[in-house]
Amino acid sequence: MFSILIVEDEYLVRQGIRSLVDFKRYQVGPINEAENGLIAWQMIQKEQPDILLTDINMPQMNGIQLAGLVKEAYPDTHIVFLTGYDEFDYALSALKLGADDYLLKPFSKEDVEEMIAKVVKKLSLEHKSRHLKELVQESQASELGKRIEAHLDDSEFSLKSLAQELGFSPNHLSLLVKKELGIPFQDYLVQVRIKQAKLLLLTTDLKIYEIAERCGFEDINYFSQRFKHLVGQTPRQFRKGEGNQ
């Protein structure tokens, strides 16, 4: 559902808009009202509606001033102006400031429905686009993690070699790893290697040095040191199920 705030100093106009359209049919709700721009701005800061339907000429703060504040603070809000014929040129200028549409007084049920349908379509597409972007980012992060895990047994594996494999510059890949995985490349690589070591310690009879090698650690002392730092136990203690010492 998409929330809407109707801002109009004439009570009958606000009620007319509410009664003309079955907003739930367009997935719009809740429907809130304000009688001037100042009250509307206070409500917007608390509720951040998806759609702002506002008159232009109002006391205390007009619709243009309100729209300016909203676009600066909440750029994703969709703004539609209510305007009369004598304000038509003013409304066209307002559209250039970032409003999505205008509703010309006197308006009919069809006018309101057409406007709502248009704005809701835009909102739906934006939400879908954001969702797809999030899924793509998750997919990229997952793919990046798989690429790293595929090289766990390679002690020579580095950010530079992965960058060459993926066709990125090391600096760009470093930023991507930090953004997508939340930690620097080297830290993530060590964590994944230790995770694999824990699995091998619990499921195989491999010697400690063999596990270290399979997880990309050439130096068993360094392996044991990093393992205890991250797990709180030495590899041997972890395998035996001993408590922290």
Q: What is the CA radius of gyration of the chain?
A: 29
Q: How far apart are CA 224 and CA 212, in angstroms?
A: 8
Strands 101-104 and 51-55: unpaired
User: CA angle, corner 54, sides to 48 and 58, nearest 5?
Assistant: 120
pTM of the model: 0.56
Whole-number Å distance between alpha carbons of 227 and 233 = 7
Q: What is the pLDDT of residue 240?
A: 78
Superfamily of domain 150-240: Homeodomain-like (1.10.10.60)
What per-residue confidence (pLDDT) applies to 134?
A: 60
Kindly list the distances between the CA atom of residue 159 and the CA atoms of 44, 144, 175, in Å, as whole numbers in the listed order: 46, 12, 11
Q: What is the pLDDT along the chain (245 residues), one digit of tens a residue?
A: 899 999 999 999 999 898 888 999 998 989 999 999 999 999 999 999 999 999 988 888 988 889 989 988 999 999 999 887 666 676 676 677 678 888 888 888 999 999 999 999 999 878 776 755 664 455 455 667 788 888 888 999 999 998 888 888 889 888 888 887 888 999 999 998 998 899 899 888 999 999 999 999 999 999 999 999 999 989 998 887 654 43
The pLDDT of residue 211 is 96
CA distance 29 to 23: 7
Nearest CA-CA partner of 244 in 231, 190, 212: 231
Burial class (CB in 10 A: 0-12, 13-18, 19+), 138: exposed
Q: Is the domain 2-128 a CATH 3.40.50.2300 member?
A: yes
**39 within 8 A of 66, measured Cβ to Cβ:** no
Dist. CA 142–CA 169, nearest whole Å: 20
Judge contact between 61 and 36, C-beta under 8 A: yes
Residue 243 pLDDT: 44
> Where are the chain's structural domains?
2-128, 150-240
- Pick from 102, 124, 97, 127: nearest CA to 114: 102
Tokens of 150: 């595929």
By the 8 A CB rule, do 112 and 21 touch? yes
DSSP 17-55: HHHHS-GGGGTEEEEEEESSHHHHHHHHHHH--SEEEEE
